[in-house]
Structure 1
Amino acid sequence: MLPAVVLLSGCGLDIAGSDDTSAQSSATAEPTVQIAGAAMKGVIQQGLVVANRLIADKDGYHAPQRQAAKPALTADDGSYEWQLRGKAEGWALVELTADGGTRMICDVVPQCDQAGGEPVAFGQTMPLDSNFSLLGAGDLRLETVNLTPLTHLAVTLAERSGDGLSPVAISSAYTRVENWFGLPAGALRLTPPDLTNLDAMTGVSADAIQVAVANAAFLALVNDNVQWDSISDVLGDVTSQVSSTGQISITGDGTNVALADLVSAAALQSSELQNVVDSSVISQRLAVVQHRNVQRFKTIADVNEESDTSVADSGETTDENTGGDETAGTDSGSTPDSSTDTGTDTSTDTNTGSEEQVAGNTEPDTSGDVTSGGDTSSDTTTDETIADTGTDTNTETSEPVTETTPEETVPANAALLSWTAPLTRENGESLAMGEIAGFEVVYGTSAETLDQSLAIGDASVDELLVDELAEGTWYFAIRTLDTDGNRSSLSEVVYKQI
């Protein structure tokens, strides 16, 4: 099992790092820490990258400590490296700008339109204007900070905090942006793959592809939309909204970029990309991404029907919904927080009949209260299961209530899991979403040996795709982690035959 600490990193940035990676530039020089990552929207080549530590002043306001240094250039694959003076501790802000030599690979199918220029074919390079920039931030103990339109929005959002770019503000902003686009927890720390070269990377996950497609949507909006001449225009509009209001308009007003526009463009791109890849594995994962974006678009539409002035500030409208559009049509099972049956501990406490299923397969005989199918929809919202945190404290967290939904086509070697966050602790006290730090999904080829795990540092996430599973029977369970570091015991084990 992973230690609880890996689930406490807001925005999905695992906080389990090491200072051992700091290097000495010379025998007498101060230590340095290397920051690395990739600039992807598609791949950005010869972009100018600068990194600065985020330092708090006497009032606790965090801002970058500017240092005079020559920018590093991104490589042909978008990667960069930066040596930052000092130890591998604290957080840093990384910024990319463009000049006359900067190029970006068009990752929009079939082409990328340019104002006043010929369209650029998918997979070919195109220039970037001098107004283009990307921001990203992260914990130096991880030493990896990727730069994408989504991380740019997250940093812009974090800058609104009264504490400036504090670790808490950045973590919260990363999580919030993930929720806007219906991305899995921690998605913004994933390095997006090059969408123009997917056949060469069959090991890439559906989650990483979803992040790349969401970033491609910003450039896709330039096509056939006369109000956007470049991706800089699109980014400028969205960041202006976020900077001003802390939100993105759901449907827009005919002038501004809307979240619905971006999600719709992402759904279309994931569909179009299926026609340009040869790998059946990648095609299946793109189908999963397309489905997720379609469901996210439906959720946005549902929210907008409730209020014409609604804005997208999180995914909570569906994350706690047991049967909403966000999870409709997905394979149910175990996922973060209760990602696999919310049973093991629940069966010994006040289990009221939680239900859980993995991709249409029934659970093992040991999970007596688990059903093998059907959509429990909102009927499960009243069911509460309670779990022991496995600690000596009195702050045990209850296991989440899972829901089952109709089977959806997902890769044959994957399990799509969904669940509902717990509402109470073992002692009967209520458990607020703000008290849940995240979840840990554990799995393996034996119910007794769940030797693999996935951490989710976001309480609002209620779905997880576990892919690249070898043939055989796979078993899953989940535990909840609260903000005090207490962990629930594992849920009942569920399984899927691959």
Structure 2
Amino acid sequence: MLPAVVLLSGCGLDISSDDDTSAQSSATAEPTVQIAGAAMKGVIQQGLVVANRLIADKDGYYAPQRQAAKPVLTADDGSYEWQLRGKAEGWALVELTADGGTRMICDVVPQCDQAGGEPVAFGQTMPLDSNFSLLGAGDLRMETVNLTPLTHLAVTLAERSADGLSAVAISTAYTTVENWFGLPAGALRLTPPDLTNLDVTTSVSADAIQVAIANAAFLALVNDNAQWDSISDVLGDVTSQVSSTGQISITGDGTNVALADLVSAAALQSSELQNVVDSSVISQRLAVVQHRNVQRFKTIADVNEESDTSVVDSGEATDETTGGDQTAGTDSGSTSDSSTETGTDTSTDTSTGSEEQVAGNTEPDTSGDDTSSDTTIEETVPANAALLSWTAPLTRENGESLAMGEIAGFEVVYGTSAETLDQSLAIGDASVDELLVDELAEGTWYFAIRTLDTDGNRSRLSEVVYKQI
């Protein structure tokens, strides 16, 4: 089993049972496909959700096939389920609207300001105006479509396509919006967690938290700018920009919401949330998200409006300079520090059984010894911490492939001597590729990692990397 490459980075109430939906369960035995997901800005409760297939007309233009069906209401956790007639093929558009009974949980620390009303404390519910809406789209074979401000922007962008809401247009738009906000590939398909309840969801990935915080930033701007009275105002402004130009203003023009504003608000919320969570695991992941947002802000902060497309559509990962954070779709552990050196991994696995089974990487990894970002990272991470990142192995030493499902986790070992790595941290999640080791005393600290598979095999330790504290 190839061991990981270690990189030391520096600093519902369902009301759909009308005549139309009841026909779905009638004696005709017509096939149906269930679409499920969640409406998350904060958590949106009692929102009205409708799903429709996306069908092409004779000219190949894709648009929703409207059906006369009552909406379903999102549950208290924001989830919804919808039964759509027909086979599980093609794509669907899901729409959420609000009425007088719709509520949203305030996901901004310390509070959510309301025009003409008292502030709502973090974690408490607040009303949504009737103009509020969210869109999302997805492949019916996946059966999950989440609804967030970011998916709303992606659908709006896809609608500009000459083919309408085709599968290609939607997929491309989702990727573009991920790039705008420095999110890993596929992040908009993740179900964002409830930011007000993170301590009970310690298995949530940093990627999913980053998506949730990016969505929270839209409401955070209401607090910071008297120009915006509600989340609908902010979302409406950004949606209008995307609809008319295909992008978001990078640094702002004094009138419209800027991408830099949203990313900056996300970075601030990442920091604020660290003060309200009790879980050290979640705190570390929030630190990673903060670091990513700070790096993304620095990437776009000095770019003027005329060069929007070169930055917005570049697909640059927020942690590009650190060598490890940009890995898409992985669960991260935390932020931090400036490294003096990144390491290569030359470890191999040995079996704990009676017969030795080698499962490790004997090829050194040359993916990254990048210390160019040290000075910038130091501004956002503790001086007494080290951020480790690694790449999960793909094959065993004998050449056999190693699936992610066969990896049980990793073990990080460290100490003040390269020969005596007498402290360790176990990671029981194969998707984790970063870990913040903090509260380190002054001196030089050395780190290595080994991979553990589901059969109990353990790799030899990777090559040691170090950091001066």
Q: What TM-score bracket applies, with the shorter chain setting the length? A: 0.5 to 0.7
The answer as to 2:168 corresponding to 1:168 is: yes
Deviation, 1:303, is: 3.5
Deviation, 1:470, is: 24
> 1:334 and 1:269, CA in 2 relative to 1: closer, same or farther beyond 3 A?
closer
Deviation, 1:419, is: 10
> 1:437 and 1:176, CA in 2 relative to 1: closer, same or farther beyond 3 A?
farther
Deviations 1:107-159 (A, max 9, x none): 00110000011111111100000000000000000100000000000000000
Q: Which runs of 5+ in 1 are unaligned?
A: 370-374, 385-408
Quote the residue 1:452 is aligned against: 423
**Whole-angstrom CA distance in 2 between matches of 1:75 and 1:491:** 47
Deviations 1:16-54 (A, max 9, x none): 999999997344231110000000010000000000000
> 1:152 and 1:434, CA in 2 relative to 1: closer, same or farther beyond 3 A?
farther
Conservation of the 8 A alpha-carbon contact between 1:46 and 1:76: yes
> 1:101 and 1:273, CA in 2 relative to 1: closer, same or farther beyond 3 A?
same
Deviation, 1:257, is: 0.2
> 1:452 and 1:484, CA in 2 relative to 1: closer, same or farther beyond 3 A?
same
Conservation of the 8 A alpha-carbon contact between 1:362 and 1:494: no
> 1:309 and 1:40, CA in 2 relative to 1: closer, same or farther beyond 3 A?
closer
Deviations 1:387-406 (A, max 9, x none): xxxxxxxxxxxxxxxxxxxx
Conservation of the 8 A alpha-carbon contact between 1:443 and 1:474: yes
Quote the residue 2:241 is aligned against: 241
> 1:129 and 1:484, CA in 2 relative to 1: closer, same or farther beyond 3 A?
farther
Conservation of the 8 A alpha-carbon contact between 1:111 and 1:121: yes
> 1:455 and 1:286, CA in 2 relative to 1: closer, same or farther beyond 3 A?
closer
Conservation of the 8 A alpha-carbon contact between 1:10 and 1:174: no
**Whole-angstrom CA distance in 1 between matches of 2:303 and 2:453:** 29
Deviation, 1:161, is: 0.5
Deviations 1:339-368 (A, max 9, x none): 999999999999999999999999869999
Quote the residue 2:263 is aligned against: 263
Quote the residue 1:336 is aligned against: 336
Deviation, 1:300, is: 0.8
Q: Which residue of 485, 490, 495 corresponds with 2:456?
A: 485
**Whole-angstrom CA distance in 2 between matches of 1:86 and 1:340:** 58
Conservation of the 8 A alpha-carbon contact between 2:97 and 2:132: yes
**Whole-angstrom CA distance in 1 between matches of 2:324 and 2:179:** 15
Deviations 1:438-460 (A, max 9, x none): 99999999999999999999999
> 1:143 and 1:447, CA in 2 relative to 1: closer, same or farther beyond 3 A?
farther
> 1:203 and 1:446, CA in 2 relative to 1: closer, same or farther beyond 3 A?
farther
Conservation of the 8 A alpha-carbon contact between 2:182 and 2:317: no
**Whole-angstrom CA distance in 1 between matches of 2:428 and 2:159:** 21
Deviation, 1:184, is: 1.0
Deviation, 1:379, is: 15
Which stretch has the larger CA shift, 434-443 or 160-169? 434-443
Conservation of the 8 A alpha-carbon contact between 2:277 and 2:283: yes
Quote the residue 1:188 is aligned against: 188
**Whole-angstrom CA distance in 1 between matches of 2:363 and 2:16:** 33
Conservation of the 8 A alpha-carbon contact between 1:416 and 1:466: yes
Conservation of the 8 A alpha-carbon contact between 2:52 and 2:66: yes
Which stretch has the larger CA shift, 265-274 or 357-366? 357-366
SS in 2 for 1:317: coil
Which stretch has the larger CA shift, 46-55 or 6-15? 6-15
Deviations 1:424-482 (A, max 9, x none): 99999999999999999999999999999999999999999999999999999999999
Conservation of the 8 A alpha-carbon contact between 1:103 and 1:125: yes
Deviation, 1:58, is: 1.6
Quote the residue 2:16 is aligned against: 16
**Whole-angstrom CA distance in 1 between matches of 2:447 and 2:172:** 28
> 1:54 and 1:445, CA in 2 relative to 1: closer, same or farther beyond 3 A?
farther
> 1:458 and 1:301, CA in 2 relative to 1: closer, same or farther beyond 3 A?
farther
**Whole-angstrom CA distance in 2 between matches of 1:427 and 1:309:** 45
Which stretch has the larger CA shift, 301-310 or 32-41? 301-310
**Whole-angstrom CA distance in 2 between matches of 1:58 and 1:451:** 69
Which stretch has the larger CA shift, 267-276 or 441-450? 441-450
Deviations 1:405-435 (A, max 9, x none): xxxx999999988899999999999999999
> 1:39 and 1:12, CA in 2 relative to 1: closer, same or farther beyond 3 A?
closer
> 1:191 and 1:423, CA in 2 relative to 1: closer, same or farther beyond 3 A?
closer
Conservation of the 8 A alpha-carbon contact between 1:49 and 1:97: yes
Deviation, 1:330, is: 14
TM-score normalised over the length of structure 2? 0.68
Higher relative contact order (CA 8 A, sep 6+): 2
Quote the residue 2:125 is aligned against: 125
SS in 2 for 1:23: helix
Conservation of the 8 A alpha-carbon contact between 2:149 and 2:215: yes
Q: Percent identity?
A: 95
Q: Number of residues paired by the alignment? A: 469
Conservation of the 8 A alpha-carbon contact between 1:336 and 1:440: no
SS in 1 for 2:287: helix
SS in 2 for 1:113: strand
Deviations 1:161-204 (A, max 9, x none): 11100010100100110111011111101110001111111111
Conservation of the 8 A alpha-carbon contact between 1:90 and 1:141: yes
Quote the residue 1:141 is aligned against: 141
Deviation, 1:336, is: 21
Conservation of the 8 A alpha-carbon contact between 1:334 and 1:477: no
Which stretch has the larger CA shift, 305-314 or 356-365? 356-365
Conservation of the 8 A alpha-carbon contact between 1:416 and 1:464: yes
Deviations 1:474-496 (A, max 9, x none): 99999999999999999999999
Conservation of the 8 A alpha-carbon contact between 1:111 and 1:119: yes
Rg larger in structure: 2
> 1:442 and 1:352, CA in 2 relative to 1: closer, same or farther beyond 3 A?
closer
Deviation, 1:301, is: 1.7
> 1:93 and 1:140, CA in 2 relative to 1: closer, same or farther beyond 3 A?
same
**Whole-angstrom CA distance in 2 between matches of 1:81 and 1:468:** 45
Conservation of the 8 A alpha-carbon contact between 1:12 and 1:456: no
**Whole-angstrom CA distance in 2 between matches of 1:84 and 1:297:** 41
Quote the residue 1:383 is aligned against: 378
